[in-house]
Amino acid sequence: MRIHIVSLFPEYFRGPFDCGPVRIAQKKGVLEIAFVNPRDFTSDPHRTVDDYPFGGGPGMVLKPEPLFQAVESVLQPDSHVVLLSPQGTMFHQDLARQFSQLPHLVLICGRYKGVDERVRLALANTEVSIGDYVLAGGEAAAVVVVEAVARLLPGAVGDEDSVASDSFAAGLLDAPYYTRPAEFRGLVVPAVLLSGDHAQVARWRRCQALLTTARHRPELLRNQVLSEAEREFLSLELGKEEPDGQKEGNRT
């Protein structure tokens, strides 16, 4: 897979792409990341990439010409162009999975007040947001997208089964994990995890995943098929909790 990042600040990516699955995916040749700087597609002596907004108001807007030329310089018939923007579709695991199956992704990072509207209208195939907050630029969003996509590429993560059990992979949040020691500051690891009974462990993890999802993201359960026993387990466990949610697992 190839990813082009269109950014005025390619140096921003030096750290995050040099470690973990993103580095491994590149090393193994399953991912190629390259940068395109719109500033290299300007023709005036000041290499101007932004301008005042028509109609007035504060802030600067990224001009269309350098952005169009930057994207068009790497565009292939199979490219998918994504504009990173707080106004886009919310990024989620399923979108990461869809992106990971594409041959070529182009991520456009805006800055300042954003990009000229014609970039959204005539250049981008999709507009993607990483959350309901406003960043200074699309670079941090591009890091999020690239990291979520890279770890789904073959060989990027040591144990691919691990990816399959992560939160959202099966539409649920993940189960809790413990490692040694079996007791830490009086907190003991659930006995079933020490039992060596794999079927029991799998059942426990499934129930805990359901419980965590019901506590933190109940809307995700709507798409799940639950057995009678699982339904009973959930209503029993949730019934034990205070109505205002002031119980274990409430981390805010």
Residues contributing to the site for ligand SAH (CB under 6 A): 84-87, 109-111, 113-115, 129-131, 133-135, 137-138, 141
Q: Which of 200, 118, 146 is nearest to 30 (CA)?
A: 146
**In terms of CB distance, is 87 or 162 closer to ligand SAH?**
87
The distance of closest approach from Cβ of residue 57 to ligand SAH in the complex, given in angstroms and rounded to an integer, is 10
The distance of closest approach from Cβ of residue 6 to ligand SAH in the complex, given in angstroms and rounded to an integer, is 10
Coil/strand/helix, residue 137: strand
**In terms of CB distance, is 90 or 191 closer to ligand SAH?**
90
Measured from each CB, the residue nearest to ligand SAH is 110
Question: To which H or E segment does residue 85 belong?
Answer: strand 79-90
249/215 Cα distance (integer angstroms): 8
**In terms of CB distance, is 20 or 53 closer to ligand SAH?**
53
CB 73 within 8 A of CB 46: no
**In terms of CB distance, is 90 or 188 closer to ligand SAH?**
90
Two tokens, residue 64: 């269309």
E strands present in the chain: 2-6, 32-36, 50-51, 61-62, 79-90, 104-109, 126-129, 183-184, 187-188
The distance of closest approach from Cβ of residue 4 to ligand SAH in the complex, given in angstroms and rounded to an integer, is 15
The distance of closest approach from Cβ of residue 59 to ligand SAH in the complex, given in angstroms and rounded to an integer, is 7
**In terms of CB distance, is 134 or 199 closer to ligand SAH?**
134
Other C-beta atoms closer than 10 Å to the C-beta of 67 total 26
The distance of closest approach from Cβ of residue 56 to ligand SAH in the complex, given in angstroms and rounded to an integer, is 15
